[in-house]
Amino acid sequence: MRAIELGATLYTPVLNPAALENAYGACPDLRSMVICLEDAVRDDEAARAEQALKLCLQRFSILAPSVRVFIRPRSPLMLARILRMPGVDRVAGFVLPKVTAATLPQWLDLPIGSHALMPCIEGEEAFDFKSLSHLRDLMSPHRSRILAVRIGGNDLLNLIGVRRSRYRTAYDGVLGVAIRNIAATFASHGFSVSAPVFEHYGDHALLTEEVEQDIEHGLLTKTAVHPSQIPVIQRLYKPAASDISEARAILDAASPAVFGSNGSMCEPATHSRWAEKIVQRAQIYGITEGLSTADSRVA
């Protein structure tokens, strides 16, 4: 399993009846989802949430879910209890909330087995390169277990006491600093990074603009909070026909060291990783004809 295959990962509170429905294909385009027992559940409902998860897992033990399901527990202690529940072997992995250098060992010491992990950075470390580098170095020995590093956008904004604008993308505010820091620190060392949620689910035009910027920052999976966001996000993961043509030429061993295509310089030595991702996106999501959305705006 690769992070690029997750697409738009739909977060669903465990107490929402749709959690089980979504796991069995209620959203036709859904590739992955997170059943959340953390911020999406009130403190006084934690016990009921855990019982609801137990019932979900019992159902999974009878019939495996049709999408990749991840669970977001509240704490390492809760995850330890979840790992003992029948049916937990049917989930793809776990989202580890509010991971820091201090808490990471508590999560990694659990007998998680072959489950994939997605640590979520939601604290002040996101604004400090030194702290992020330290956290990355702690994760590096476990990189094969870490499917993606997630960015807790709303938690990061809560540190500052603000909410993201309805009229601008995450990259236009202070959250953009954290996204760039995390992408630069982790993606440069081989980690996949997941883009944060766009909470204003009624505005698909602004969501489109934000996903385009996610892609430019190398973030090829994104949290969704509403089913209507799924096709918007995943449509943008389809590369343009012009991009796939260039990518194949860049990856062709017979191509020259530098060549031109559609008015742009192509250099296999420096563009090969981009080309590999373009080919992967085409294999998973298909190809869109003509120019990409962003390119068409300036054509």
**Quick one: which of 116, 146, 119, 147 has its CA closest to 132?**
119
122: left (phi over 0), alpha (psi -120 to 50) or beta: alpha
Query: What is the model's pLDDT at position 299?
Result: 44
The model carries a pTM of: 0.92
Query: What is the model's pLDDT at position 289?
Result: 76
Query: What is the model's pLDDT at position 295?
Result: 54
Query: How buried is residue 42: exposed, middle or buried, by Cβ count under 10 Å (0-12/13-18/19+)?
Result: exposed
**Residue ranges in the chain whose pLDDT is less than 50:** 294, 296-299
Please tell me the distance from the alpha carbon of residue 39 to that of residue 65, in angstroms, as a whole number: 23
Q: Taking a C-beta distance cutoff of 8 angstroms, is the pair 36, 12 a contact?
A: yes
Q: Taking a C-beta distance cutoff of 8 angstroms, is the pair 230, 11 a contact?
A: no
Structural domains in the chain, CATH included, are 3-236 (3.20.20.60), 241-298 (no CATH)
Query: What is the model's pLDDT at position 291?
Result: 56
Q: Taking a C-beta distance cutoff of 8 angstroms, is the pair 173, 199 a contact?
A: no
Query: What is the model's pLDDT at position 234?
Result: 97
Please tell me the distance from the alpha carbon of residue 178 to that of residue 126, in angstroms, as a whole number: 5
Query: What is the model's pLDDT at position 135?
Result: 97
> How many distinct helices (H) and strands (E) make up the chain?
12, 10
Please tell me the distance from the alpha carbon of residue 118 to that of residue 269, in angstroms, as a whole number: 31
Please tell me the distance from the alpha carbon of residue 122 to that of residue 157, in angstroms, as a whole number: 9
Query: What is the model's pLDDT at position 296?
Result: 45
Q: What is the CA radius of gyration of the chain?
A: 20
